[in-house]
Chain A
Amino acid sequence: MSATVPLHRVNVLTGIKSARQIEDPAEYGRLIKKAKRPLLVLGPLLIEWSLNGKPLLEYALEIAMGTNIPIPICATAHVKGRMSELGVKPASEYDVVEIINALKDPDWMGVKKEGNHDLVIFFGIRSDLGEQGLSVLKHFAPHLKTMTLCRFYFPNADYSLPNIRKDEQWKEFLETLIADLKGKE
Chain B
Amino acid sequence: MAELKEIKRKLEEVERLIRAEIPWEPVGPTPMPEVPALRNWDMRLLKTYKPFYAPFCDLCCLCTYGKCDLTEGRRGACGIDIKAQQARLVLLACLIGCSCHTAHGAHILEYLIEKHGPDKKIDMGRMIEVEAPNIRTVLGLKPETLSDLKIAIEYVYKEITHLLDSIHTGQEGSYLDFESKALHISMLDHVGMEAADIAQIVGFGYPTSVAETPMVDMGWATVDKTKPMILVVGHNPATSAEIIDYLRANDLYDKVEVGGICCTALETTRYSDRAKVIGPLSRQLFFLRTGIADVIMTDEQCIRADMPIEASKTGAVLIATLDKAMYGLPDATEMATEEIIKQAVEEKKHFAILDPGKAAEVAVKVAMKIAPKRKKEWISEEEAKELAGRCTDCGMCERVCPNLFSIGDGITEIAKNNNFDLIREQFRRCIGCGKCEEECPREVPIFKIMQQAASKEHWKIRAGRGPIMDTEIRNVGAPITLGTIPGVVAFVGCSNYPDIEDIAEMVEEFAKRKYIVVLSGCAAMVAGMKNDADGKNVYEKYPPDFDAGGVVNVGSCVSNAHITGAAIKVVNIFAKLPLRGNYEVVADHTLNRLGACGVAWGAMSQKAASIGTGCNRLGIPVILGPHSAKYRRLYLSRKEEDDWRVMDARTKKIVDTGEPSPEHLVYVCETKEKAMVTIPKLCIRKNDTPQGRAIKLNHYISLYKKYMGGGLPEDLHLFVRRDADIPIVYKKEVRVYLKEIDWKPKEPVGLPTIIGTYPTKVSVDSVIQ
A contact set with B: CB distance below 8 Å: 7-10, 13-17, 43-44, 76-78, 80-85, 92-93, 95-98, 100-102, 105, 125-129, 132-133, 135-136, 138-140, 142, 165
A96 near B53 with CB under 8 A, answer: no
Mark contacts of B396-413 with chain A using CB atoms, 8 A cut-off: 1 yes-contact digit, 0 otherwise. Answer: 001111101000000000
Among A81, A98, A128, the residue within 8 A (CB) of B626 is A128
> In angstroms, how far is the closest chain A Cβ from the Cβ of B360?
39
Q: 25 A–B contact pairs at CB < 8 A?
A: A8-B399, A10-B404, A10-B630, A15-B59, A76-B670, A76-B674, A78-B673, A81-B709, A84-B710, A93-B708, A93-B714, A95-B668, A95-B674, A96-B670, A97-B52, A102-B638, A105-B638, A125-B670, A128-B402, A129-B629, A132-B56, A135-B55, A135-B56, A138-B71, A139-B55
Among B55, B59, B401, B708, the residue within 8 A (CB) of A78 is B708
Residues of B331-376 at the interface with A, using a CB-CB cut-off of 8 Å, are none
* A residues in contact with B402, CB < 8 Å: 10, 128
For residue B395, which residue of chain A has the nearest CB?
A165
A44 to B708, CA, bound (A): 11
* A residues in contact with B627, CB < 8 Å: 128-129
- Judged by a CB distance under 8 angstroms, whether B65 is at the interface is no
A139 near B71 with CB under 8 A, answer: yes
For residue B666, which residue of chain A has the nearest CB?
A97
Most chain A CB atoms below 10 A, which of B69, B626, B627, B670: B670
> In angstroms, how far is the closest chain B Cβ from the Cβ of A125?
7
A16 near B636 with CB under 8 A, answer: no
A42 to B666, CA, bound (A): 23
* B residues in contact with A105, CB < 8 Å: 638
* B residues in contact with A93, CB < 8 Å: 708, 714
> In angstroms, how far is the closest chain B Cβ from the Cβ of A135?
5
B contact set with A: CB distance below 8 Å: 52-59, 69, 71-72, 82, 395, 398-402, 404, 626-627, 629-630, 634, 636, 638, 667-671, 673-674, 678, 707-711, 714
A128 near B58 with CB under 8 A, answer: no
* B residues in contact with A76, CB < 8 Å: 670, 674
Chain A residues touching B, majority SS? helix
* B residues in contact with A15, CB < 8 Å: 55, 57-59, 69, 71
A97 near B629 with CB under 8 A, answer: yes
A136 near B58 with CB under 8 A, answer: no
A32 to B73, CA, bound (A): 27
* A residues in contact with B638, CB < 8 Å: 101-102, 105
* B residues in contact with A97, CB < 8 Å: 52, 629, 634, 636, 667-668
> In angstroms, how far is the closest chain A Cβ from the Cβ of B61?
9
Pairs A-B, 5 closest by C-beta atoms:
A81-B709, A15-B58, A132-B629, A14-B57, A78-B673
> In angstroms, how far is the closest chain A Cβ from the Cβ of B747?
28
Among B401, B404, B669, B710, the residue within 8 A (CB) of A81 is B710
For residue A107, which residue of chain B has the nearest CB?
B641
Among B630, B634, B667, B673, the residue within 8 A (CB) of A77 is B673
Contact A77-B56, Cβ < 8 Å, known A7-B399, A16-B69: no
A8 to B400, CA, bound (A): 6
* A residues in contact with B668, CB < 8 Å: 95-97, 129
A126 near B404 with CB under 8 A, answer: yes
* B residues in contact with A14, CB < 8 Å: 56-59
* B residues in contact with A101, CB < 8 Å: 52, 636, 638
Q: How many A-B residue pairs have CB under 8 A?
A: 120
B58 near A126 with CB under 8 A, answer: no
* B residues in contact with A140, CB < 8 Å: 53
Among A7, A95, A139, the residue within 8 A (CB) of B669 is A95
A84 to B629, CA, bound (A): 28
* B residues in contact with A80, CB < 8 Å: 708-709, 711
Most chain B CB atoms below 10 A, which of A15, A17, A132: A132
A43 near B72 with CB under 8 A, answer: no
Most chain A CB atoms below 10 A, which of B57, B401, B709: B709
A10 to B399, CA, bound (A): 8
Among A8, A16, A78, A127, the residue within 8 A (CB) of B71 is A16
* A residues in contact with B671, CB < 8 Å: 44, 77-78
> In angstroms, how far is the closest chain B Cβ from the Cβ of A158?
13
B634 near A17 with CB under 8 A, answer: no
> In angstroms, how far is the closest chain A Cβ from the Cβ of B85?
10
A92 to B630, CA, bound (A): 26
* A residues in contact with B667, CB < 8 Å: 97
> In angstroms, how far is the closest chain B Cβ from the Cβ of A105?
8
A139 to B56, CA, bound (A): 11
> In angstroms, how far is the closest chain A Cβ from the Cβ of B533?
25
Most chain B CB atoms below 10 A, which of A13, A43, A136: A136
A125 to B669, CA, bound (A): 12
A78 to B709, CA, bound (A): 7
* A residues in contact with B678, CB < 8 Å: 95
For residue A89, which residue of chain B has the nearest CB?
B711
> In angstroms, how far is the closest chain B Cβ from the Cβ of A80?
6
A9 to B89, CA, bound (A): 21
* A residues in contact with B404, CB < 8 Å: 8, 10, 126-128
B629 near A133 with CB under 8 A, answer: yes
For residue B435, which residue of chain A has the nearest CB?
A9
> In angstroms, how far is the closest chain A Cβ from the Cβ of B707?
6
Most chain A CB atoms below 10 A, which of B636, B708, B710: B708
A102 to B55, CA, bound (A): 17
* B residues in contact with A9, CB < 8 Å: 399-400
Contact A85-B709, Cβ < 8 Å, known A77-B670, A132-B629: yes
A184 to B629, CA, bound (A): 39
A14 to B56, CA, bound (A): 8
A76 to B678, CA, bound (A): 13
> In angstroms, how far is the closest chain A Cβ from the Cβ of B68?
11
Among B669, B670, B707, the residue within 8 A (CB) of A43 is B670
For residue B670, which residue of chain A has the nearest CB?
A77
A78 near B711 with CB under 8 A, answer: no
A135 to B627, CA, bound (A): 14
A140 to B636, CA, bound (A): 15
For residue B678, which residue of chain A has the nearest CB?
A95
* A residues in contact with B707, CB < 8 Å: 78, 81
A173 to B669, CA, bound (A): 30
A136 near B54 with CB under 8 A, answer: yes
For residue B627, which residue of chain A has the nearest CB?
A128
> Other than the known A8-B399, A139-B71, what 8 A-B pairs have Cβ atoms closer than 8 Å?
A14-B58, A43-B670, A93-B714, A95-B674, A97-B52, A97-B634, A101-B52, A132-B630
Among B59, B399, B629, the residue within 8 A (CB) of A128 is B629
* B residues in contact with A165, CB < 8 Å: 395
* A residues in contact with B56, CB < 8 Å: 14, 132, 135
A18 to B634, CA, bound (A): 24
A38 to B708, CA, bound (A): 25
B709 near A8 with CB under 8 A, answer: no
A135 to B58, CA, bound (A): 9
> In angstroms, how far is the closest chain B Cβ from the Cβ of A18?
9
* B residues in contact with A43, CB < 8 Å: 670
A159 to B71, CA, bound (A): 17
For residue A96, which residue of chain B has the nearest CB?
B670
* B residues in contact with A142, CB < 8 Å: 72
A120 to B96, CA, bound (A): 37
* B residues in contact with A100, CB < 8 Å: 52
For residue B715, which residue of chain A has the nearest CB?
A93
* B residues in contact with A102, CB < 8 Å: 638
* B residues in contact with A17, CB < 8 Å: 58, 71-72
> In angstroms, how far is the closest chain B Cβ from the Cβ of A49?
12
* A residues in contact with B714, CB < 8 Å: 92-93
For residue B667, which residue of chain A has the nearest CB?
A97
For residue A8, which residue of chain B has the nearest CB?
B404
For residue B69, which residue of chain A has the nearest CB?
A16
For residue A104, which residue of chain B has the nearest CB?
B52
* A residues in contact with B57, CB < 8 Å: 14-15
For residue A7, which residue of chain B has the nearest CB?
B399
A77 to B404, CA, bound (A): 18
For residue B57, which residue of chain A has the nearest CB?
A14
A40 to B360, CA, bound (A): 60
Among B400, B670, B709, the residue within 8 A (CB) of A82 is B709
